[in-house]
Amino acid sequence: MSFDSLGLAPALLRALSEAGYEKPTPIQAAAIPEVLAGHDLMAAAQTGTGKTAAFSLPLLHRLASTPLREGRRPISALILTPTRELAAQVQENLRDYGKHLRISSTVIFGGVGMGNQLHALRRGVDIVVATPGRLIDHMQQRSVDLSKVDVLVLDEADRMLDMGFLPALKRILAAVPPKRQTLLFSATFAPEIKALAQQFMRDPREVSTTPANTVANTITHRVHPVDAARKRDLLLHVLAQDSRRQTLVFSRTKHGADKLVRHLESAGIRAAAIHGNKSQNARTRALGDFKSGKVTVLVATDIAARGIDIDQLPVVINFDLPMVAEDYVHRIGRTGRAGSEGQAISLVSHDESGLLRDIRRLLKTDLEMVAVAGFEPSTPLRLDAGAPRPKQQPRQAGGGSSRAPREGGGQQARQGGGQGRPSHRPHGHPPAASAGDAGPKRRRRRRGGGSSASNGGKA
């Protein structure tokens, strides 16, 4: 199948050809015809399989086929994303795909001033890409009009629920017309996602190209057991094997990410950190330097698991395992994209044995265990039902806010011992967070009797 056979506008086909796109991915081939036919759609696919193009291309085609309105142009399409980085990535893709069309778009997220955003909204745009928190700010200031939205897209919907955005989503949904086309794209379809879809979608079609929580078969997984005290030295040893190789390293906490960057820089490695305590300008600069090769190692918390799109990223390293097994899938989805080969390396200490067991159980496969000479652990990993997990610090009280959660984790409690996911409530129950809460409660882990720790501030 080719893009020509999907019935897209010639201007879009021209842009795709110039960008080197040859044929649609499975999710694009399945989703684009449904969107062009006007159906509400729930679409699930692995990270890195082209979900952004699957909704952007038919959206641009629809707008290109609509006669231009005189005067100020109302917002015709709204795309919601959980993180600033993902919003910027979607906006960049829209510009690339629609460069031969007379369609305007803008991106709205927090961490930066509102001046340029206000100017773009006053001028009038066809498409707004936004994070929920900053969009709520504009709604409160009456600087955005959503009354003419024809298409609503929820990108990475599962992550938005994980980050406590359900109250904000409901508020935004109440502001857009009930008669609209709604597209929900996600890496996974948990029961909570389907319950949410029942509330605001009309007879949605459903397409899924891979089972939930699967990873690309082009990714090689490897586990290096090591004592916790020697993890940083082992990381340096692994990075030294190819000092020019771009590497994304995941740390469980923001403080840990900053500390790791200082350690890497002291060893002569060009590194930068990206997490929720960084200003948006600092986050953008770090990501830009990583993409350009100015820094070779980017240390990130889970905020980056769904907002980084880098061609041919060869390796992802889990310096700390995630507290929730599903996050492993999203982390390593940064490599092995679009059919390219990738490597996922995890440095695992004895107290993370339980987390590793959960990941293996989720993936339904064994991960290659390779002890590195000179770094063999003094205590072997345990993968049975009684395997330990990292100790977690108690949740600290937070002041809370009546505002919507910030993108990147906003109202969640202050830094704890690790990162997890907030609890999802069954359909019809109250949302997980309300005004004055320290943040959405994190989901209790039922496996092995442990519990997930609070996410750190803004991830």
Same domain, 291 and 403: no
Q: How far is the CA of 251 from the CAs of 114, 280, 326, 409, 438, in angstroms?
A: 31, 19, 16, 16, 23
Report if residue 333 sits inside a domain.
Answer: yes
Q: What are phi and psi of 304, to 5 degrees?
A: -90, -5
End position of a domain, from candidates 151, 175, 208? 208
Report if residue 213 sits inside a domain.
Answer: no
Q: How far is the CA of 180 from the CAs of 171, 176, 204, in angstroms?
A: 16, 8, 12
- Domain tally, the chain: 3
C-alpha 13/C-alpha 202 separation (Å) is 30
Same domain, 296 and 424: no
Residue found under tokens 């996922």: 344
Report if residue 383 sits inside a domain.
Answer: no
Same domain, 196 and 70: yes
Amino acid symbol at 205: R
- Cβ atoms of 344 and 316 closer than 8 Å: yes
Same domain, 140 and 189: yes
pLDDT at position 47 is: 67
Same domain, 202 and 224: no
Residue 77's Cβ-side half-sphere holds a number of Cα atoms within 13 Å equal to: 29
C-alpha 232/C-alpha 252 separation (Å) is 14
End position of a domain, from candidates 165, 182, 208? 208
Report if residue 92 sits inside a domain.
Answer: yes
Same domain, 91 and 151: yes
- Cβ atoms of 323 and 331 closer than 8 Å: no
Summarize pLDDT for 79-127 with one digit per residue, the tens. Answer: 999 888 889 989 999 999 999 999 999 999 988 889 999 999 999 999 9
pLDDT in tens for each of the 459 residues of the chain? Answer: 789 899 999 999 999 999 888 899 889 999 999 999 999 999 987 666 788 999 999 999 999 988 766 556 799 999 999 888 889 989 999 999 999 999 999 999 988 889 999 999 999 999 999 999 999 999 999 999 999 999 999 998 888 887 788 899 999 999 999 999 999 988 767 777 788 888 889 999 999 876 555 666 778 899 999 999 999 999 999 999 887 888 999 999 999 999 999 999 999 999 999 987 888 788 889 888 998 889 999 999 987 556 666 767 889 999 999 988 888 888 887 776 656 678 899 999 999 999 999 999 888 888 889 999 999 999 888 887 777 778 765 433 333 333 344 444 433 333 333 333 333 333 333 333 333 323 333 343 333 333 333 333 334
Return the CATH number at 348.
3.40.50.300
Amino acid symbol at 112: V
Same domain, 101 and 196: yes
Length of the chain: 459
- Give the largest CA-CA distance in the chain: 73
pLDDT at position 309 is: 67
Same domain, 192 and 325: no
Same domain, 26 and 50: yes
Residue 426's Cβ-side half-sphere holds a number of Cα atoms within 13 Å equal to: 0
SS3 361: helix
Same domain, 67 and 106: yes
End position of a domain, from candidates 208, 231, 266? 208
Residue 106 domain boundaries: 3-208
Same domain, 263 and 349: yes
Report if residue 379 sits inside a domain.
Answer: no
Same domain, 59 and 117: yes
- The total of other beta-carbon atoms located within 10 Å of residue 64's CB is 18
Q: How far is the CA of 292 from the CAs of 104, 268, 296, in angstroms?
A: 27, 18, 9
Report if residue 374 sits inside a domain.
Answer: no
- Strands 181-186 and 342-348 turn out to be unpaired
Alpha helices in 46-189 (DSSP H): 51-64, 84-97, 115-123, 132-140, 157-162, 166-175
SS3 154: strand
Report if residue 384 sits inside a domain.
Answer: no
First to last CA, the chain: 40
pLDDT at position 208 is: 85
- Cβ atoms of 127 and 76 closer than 8 Å: yes
Report if residue 386 sits inside a domain.
Answer: no
